[in-house]
Structure 1
Amino acid sequence: MDKWLVIGGGIHGTCSAIALREEGVAAADITIIDPHHHLLARWQQYTQRTGMSYLRSPGVHHLHPDPLHLHRFALQRPQPEGAHHQDFMLPHYRPSLELFRAHCEALIHEYQLDQRLLSARAEGLSRPSLPQFTVETSLGPLHARYLILAMGAGEQPHWPDWAKPFKRKDSPLQHLYDPNPLPTLQEKHLVVVGGGLSAIQFAITASKQSSSPVMLLMRHSLRIHAFDSDPGWLGPKKLNNFRQIRDFSLRRRLIDKARHRGSVPLDIARQLWRALREERIQLIHDQITGATLNRNQSLRLYLNKRADPLITDRVVLATGFGRQRPGGKWLEKAIAELGLPVHTDNYPLVDSHLRWTEGIFVTGPLAELELGPAARNIAGARMAAARIRAASRV
């Protein structure tokens, strides 16, 4: 029987496992289950696909409990051969993606977490006898004393209603966060749908590869914010009042209002403006109301403000992730059988240590009704890991 079983090998699960190792938990007492063959696989795939160069969050937000650990790592490591970028971008000291990845890999190796990964999917959760949990997986049952549920929204890309009929493998319409590889873009007329950071970064990257201008179709005007929520949500300035609210519907409304959805930092906005000046990107402010497939496999997009349809070879949706609670049917069943408390939106109601019930902790989206709007990002992973680490001492 494992002492700690972490379900999810992304940013949140890995960050929590590192915190446990820092607290003195032996590597042999931790198992991480994730369907991929290495930790952070999905996160690395998505960041590479969007063309990200620098993270949006400052350099104090990373996977180690010490806020300055990434800075020391940057100073001590040899500069990668052929590197032509700075490790941090001012004014917020945002780390480069290359530096952040190297730091993650070093931590995973140092704490032997790569040896504790089991490539499997969680399929069920039960508690046949105290104090042991049983997690059914695609490779058979696992038993553990403590669980950390660290499933993210990565397997829940949001498909608008008009796009759902094209949700198939050979379709000329794909989601940016589809696990299948995206096609080459050099000779395609491409439309990117979305107005947030991922959409704009991907459009900029694609415009450097395509022989024709990339069309970026967004519903709203460009929204510029340094971060995806006010930094005050990372500390007592806002969280103290948030935690005093016992109406969880009000908490949910505050979370939704606080997030700067569909926004980009100023440096990405400047890159977009440059691509527009160079006519590598054409920006269309409109909304798609429907789509049909032509005989030659091109797509005909019908827009709200435009009389004539827009015809294109390829559409990539960068419309973010769905809002449904991660975990799907197996977690739904566990909630019912174990009597786990949830809000009306099916998200967990947890204590200040992110304890859902004795022995089960949550992080990531599952913790947002306790941690607030930053729960899903790297800063939220650090906040959750610190609370779970503190609870492990008791």
Structure 2
Amino acid sequence: MLDWLILGAGVHGLHAAACLRSQGARLRLLDPNPRPLSEWDRRAELLGMSHLRSPIDQDIDVGQLSLHHFAEAQPRLEPGAFSGPCRAPSLALFRRHVAWIRDRLGLDALLERGVARSVELVEGGVRVESEEGSLRARRLILAIGRPRTQVPAWAEGIGGAALHVFDGGFDHGSPGGAAVVVGGGLSAVQLALRWARARPGETTLVCRRPPSIAELDAAPRWARQRWSWRFANFSLAGRMAILDSEVRRGSVPSQAAARLARAQRSGRLRVVFGEVSSARKEGGELLLSIDHHGALRCRRLALATGFARGFDGVPLFEGLAQTLGLERGPWGMPLLDGALRWHPRIHVLGAAASLSLGPLAANIAGARLASGRLASMGPS
């Protein structure tokens, strides 16, 4: 029997694996992708991401400031290795650092490919069944990320979820003609800029209002353990109010906003402020009706409208809650204890732990907060 089984090999699962591996734990990661961080890498490449939004002091290694020391040890760094006032690392530097961590700790060898079909308690632990067989562990970590994209009702009749940039069926190729990106946050801006570079003058970004400028998703204080604990001590209603007010949805860092402004001025990218009210197919094109702007035609449409906020209807969470009688809060999120336990043998990380960790739960900062919780409280 393993000491730990981690469902999900993204940022949160990989950081947890690094921390537990460094402590000598016997563990495995269960993920459908061929290597850790595959889905994260796919999304970064699709968006044309050049830099992370997370600052240099937030990485997936075990120790503090690992990425900083790694960068200093490089014989030469490429120009633009860091960006903005938070010194956000370039995607290339971050990937090299992750590869170094994976190699140093042997994390790739711990990956089992598969999707968890069922979870049940067994004597001394849990058993997880996947299409590849079963795995048994004393403790389970759910680190599966946000499972559902947010798709506007008007898009259902013209492609629905497959139009969302984070859907597995989304077309990765550059557009072959007029293109529209709908969304108001960083992902929408990144994709629109990437398409505008490929097809200057043929891409339009549609957003409700000008993106607000913020270097991080939430104030830096929420990346500190003491603020995370403080958050967890508020009432449930208080925590919900903080999440609503502190998470900077639809914001972009200053350098991304500057690139957007330059693309507009040069005519490479058009930005329309409004809301799509309806859409239909007309011949080989899509016709979008936009409030106060009339109709907009395109041959390619991308939704960068984020993820559904909650975990209602997610089979794994629904099954565990019903089978084991586990408590859930607003948006179907698990209600966890101080060690992020939903059950004495089941811990939850990432966005699903937002009601325990605070506004940065879904980010790299949240992964580090979670490992601190696991280490400080210890599993029962």
TM-score (norm. length: structure 1): 0.91
**Superposition deviation, residue 132 in structure 1:** 1.8
Among residues 284, 287, 300, which one is paired with 1:300 in the alignment? 287
Among residues 278, 295, 315, which one is paired with 1:329 in the alignment? 315
CA deviations over 1:67-87 (Å, ceiling 9, x no partner): 21111111223447xx4x232
* C-alpha RMSD of matched pairs (Å): 1.9
Please tell me whether residue 166 in structure 1 is matched to residue 163 in structure 2: no
Match of 1:245 in 2: 234
Alignment of 1:105-184 (within 5 A): 105-127=99-121, 129-153=122-146, 155-167=147-159, 174-180=163-169, 182=171, 184=173
CA distance in 2, matches of 1:382, 1:371: 10
Among residues 95, 101, 104, which one is paired with 2:95 in the alignment? 101
Q: CA 1:96 to 1:221, structure 2 compared with 1: closer, same or farther past 3 Å?
A: same
CA distance in 1, matches of 2:266, 2:374: 49
1:309 counterpart SS class:
strand
CA distance in 1, matches of 2:212, 2:160: 32
Q: Single out whichever of 16-25 and 29-38 deviates more from structure 2.
A: 16-25
Give the conservation status (yes or no) of the 8 Å contact 1:356–1:362. Answer: yes
Match of 2:83 in 1: 89
CA distance in 2, matches of 1:338, 1:49: 39
Give the conservation status (yes or no) of the 8 Å contact 1:124–1:331. Answer: no
1:345 counterpart SS class:
helix
Match of 1:374 in 2: 360
Give the conservation status (yes or no) of the 8 Å contact 1:326–1:365. Answer: no
Q: CA 1:179 to 1:146, structure 2 compared with 1: closer, same or farther past 3 Å?
A: same
CA distance in 1, matches of 2:173, 2:324: 47
2:86 counterpart SS class:
coil
Give the conservation status (yes or no) of the 8 Å contact 1:61–1:379. Answer: yes
**Superposition deviation, residue 118 in structure 1:** 0.7
CA deviations over 1:250-293 (Å, ceiling 9, x no partner): 31221121100000011010001100110011110000011110
Match of 1:21 in 2: 21
**Superposition deviation, residue 318 in structure 1:** 0.7
CA distance in 2, matches of 1:211, 1:234: 39
Give the conservation status (yes or no) of the 8 Å contact 2:201–2:270. Answer: no
Match of 1:289 in 2: 277
Give the conservation status (yes or no) of the 8 Å contact 1:136–1:142. Answer: yes
Among residues 344, 363, 371, which one is paired with 1:358 in the alignment? 344
Q: CA 1:157 to 1:131, structure 2 compared with 1: closer, same or farther past 3 Å?
A: same
**Superposition deviation, residue 213 in structure 1:** 2.9
Among residues 43, 48, 52, which one is paired with 1:51 in the alignment? 48
**Superposition deviation, residue 110 in structure 1:** 1.2
Give the conservation status (yes or no) of the 8 Å contact 1:186–1:211. Answer: no
Q: CA 1:90 to 1:309, structure 2 compared with 1: closer, same or farther past 3 Å?
A: closer
Please tell me whether residue 268 in structure 1 is matched to residue 262 in structure 2: no
CA distance in 2, matches of 1:53, 1:35: 26
Give the conservation status (yes or no) of the 8 Å contact 1:65–1:386. Answer: no
Aligned amino acid, residue 165 of structure 1: G
Aligned amino acid, residue 64 of structure 1: D
Match of 2:191 in 1: 202
Match of 1:41 in 2: 38
Give the conservation status (yes or no) of the 8 Å contact 2:181–2:204. Answer: yes
CA distance in 2, matches of 1:393, 1:260: 33
Give the conservation status (yes or no) of the 8 Å contact 1:288–1:301. Answer: yes
2:331 counterpart SS class:
coil
Give the conservation status (yes or no) of the 8 Å contact 1:23–1:389. Answer: no
**Superposition deviation, residue 236 in structure 1:** 5.9
Among residues 213, 217, 226, which one is paired with 2:202 in the alignment? 213
Match of 1:72 in 2: 69
Aligned amino acid, residue 275 of structure 1: A
CA distance in 1, matches of 2:22, 2:279: 52
**Superposition deviation, residue 111 in structure 1:** 1.0
Q: CA 1:160 to 1:119, structure 2 compared with 1: closer, same or farther past 3 Å?
A: same
CA deviations over 1:348-386 (Å, ceiling 9, x no partner): 111111111111111101211110110000100111022
CA distance in 2, matches of 1:352, 1:119: 30
Aligned amino acid, residue 69 of structure 2: R
CA distance in 2, matches of 1:380, 1:373: 8
CA deviations over 1:20-78 (Å, ceiling 9, x no partner): 122232xxx11100010110000001111111111111101000132211111112234
Give the conservation status (yes or no) of the 8 Å contact 2:182–2:305. Answer: yes
Give the conservation status (yes or no) of the 8 Å contact 2:151–2:160. Answer: no
2:310 counterpart SS class:
coil
Aligned amino acid, residue 229 of structure 1: A
1:126 counterpart SS class:
strand
Q: CA 1:33 to 1:240, structure 2 compared with 1: closer, same or farther past 3 Å?
A: closer
CA distance in 2, matches of 1:233, 1:335: 28
Aligned amino acid, residue 99 of structure 1: L
Aligned amino acid, residue 55 of structure 2: P
Aligned sequence identity (%): 33
Aligned amino acid, residue 214 of structure 2: H
**Superposition deviation, residue 117 in structure 1:** 0.4
Give the conservation status (yes or no) of the 8 Å contact 1:125–1:331. Answer: no
**Superposition deviation, residue 183 in structure 1:** 5.0
CA distance in 2, matches of 1:336, 1:393: 23
CA distance in 1, matches of 2:365, 2:172: 33
**Superposition deviation, residue 186 in structure 1:** 5.3
Give the conservation status (yes or no) of the 8 Å contact 2:224–2:369. Answer: no
CA distance in 2, matches of 1:331, 1:236: 26
CA distance in 1, matches of 2:30, 2:305: 28
Aligned amino acid, residue 13 of structure 1: G
